[in-house]
Each structure stands twice: as C-alpha cells, then as structure tokens.
Amino acid sequence: MVRIVGISGSLRPDSYSYKALSLAAARSQALGAEVEILDLRQMQLPFCTGEKEYPDYPDVERLRDVVNRADGLILATPEYHGSLSGVMKNALDLMSFDQLSNKVSGLISILGGQSNSNALNDLRVILRWVHGWVIPEQIAIGQAWQAFGPDGKLLDEKLSERFDQFTQSLVENTRKIRGVS
C-alpha cells in the first residue's frame, strides 16, 4: 500500500493550507493510499541549526521517522513574501537525504492574493536538491478565503477537479516510482 505523509507549513488555527491538505489526503485515501498528516502546530520543533541530533526535541525524531517510512509526501504551504513559509522550510531542513531522497511529492500553495507558483517552484528546487521526485501537477489557490465553504469543501468545481487530478497523479506516480502496489 502507498504510504503518504502530509505536512502543512502553516501554524494558523483555521489554516487554509490545512484545509487543502486535508482534502488532498482524503482524496488520496479514496484512491487506496494510507495517509498520515503531521500537524506541525502540535509539534515542538526547534529552528534547524544543522545538527544531526536534537535530543531535547523528540518531535524531530518523530518527523524524521514518519517521513522515512513514507513513500510520498503532500506538502501544503502558505506563500509568504513570495516563497514558502519558514515553518515548512524549517521542517524540511530538520530532515536530510535519508528521509527525503526518492520520495514522490505533490505540492500545494495557498495565497491571500492572486495565484502564482513562487512557493511551488521553491519547493521543487528544495526537493530536487535532496533527490526527491515531484509530480508535474501542482495546486496554487489564490484568494484562499474565497475558495472554501464553511464546511471546508471547495466552492469551485474546476479546482475540485484539479485536486482529483493531483491526487490521482500522486498515488499513481508513487506506486510506479517506489514500486509499491
């Protein structure tokens, strides 16, 4: 079974990034993937100092272990000042090639303004650097406050279809690249 870990780079209580991540996770599960979401809002992670071990922070080991066991990732980040959030970058920096190499990733960005691909492009560079595989489909949700209904569902049918294509690609490519049935 394909094992996917979802991580959001938002610490906001009612985060649009988590809403998007939850949708992608549910749709991946419907395609037969096992999905676990690591909620960074509930974890105690230090700023990365480049150390190999962080003995005072057991959540670093938990982050590394959970990602290490995964076949694929869903990374959802708010876009801050034209790039991914510091929270997402720090979480990725706390990991290494050991956790991230050969993982298949799907990327989602959330913006308050107009949709663009800056954060997504930066995530692609980071994941390529650690020898990860990023699917070609990606999702950028601009003006996120208008994208979700009160129930957390997407209001735009075309955007909902893009989530279907995104998760289909993530699960299929993870199976192919990782050799998982």
Query: What pLDDT, on a 0 to 100 scale, did the predictor assign at position 113?
Result: 86
Q: Helices (DSSP H) in the chain: which residue ranges?
A: 16-30, 58-69, 86-93, 97-100, 118-129, 157-178
Phi, psi of 8 (to 5 degrees): -110, 140
pLDDT of residue 58: 98
| Dihedral (CA of 147, 151, 157, 158) sign | positive
pLDDT in tens, 143-171: 999 999 999 899 999 999 999 999 999 99
Report pLDDT digits (tens) over 58-87: 999 999 999 999 999 999 999 999 999 999
Question: Cα(97)–Cα(60) distance, rounded to whole angstroms?
Answer: 15
Residue 181 — very low, low, confident or very high, per pLDDT cuts 50/70/90? confident
Percent of the chain topping pLDDT 90? 94
Which domain range does residue 146 map to?
Answer: 3-178
| pLDDT at site 115 | 82
Domain CATH for 12: 3.40.50.360
Overall pTM > 0.85: yes
Mean pLDDT of the chain: 96
Q: Count the domains in the chain.
A: 1
Residue 90 scores a pLDDT above 90: yes
What pLDDT does 42 receive?
A: 97
Q: Which helix or strand (DSSP H or E) is residue 136 part of?
A: strand 133-141
Percent of the chain with pLDDT over 70: 100
Indicate if the pLDDT at residue 93 is higher than 80: yes
Question: Residue 114: pLDDT above 90?
Answer: no
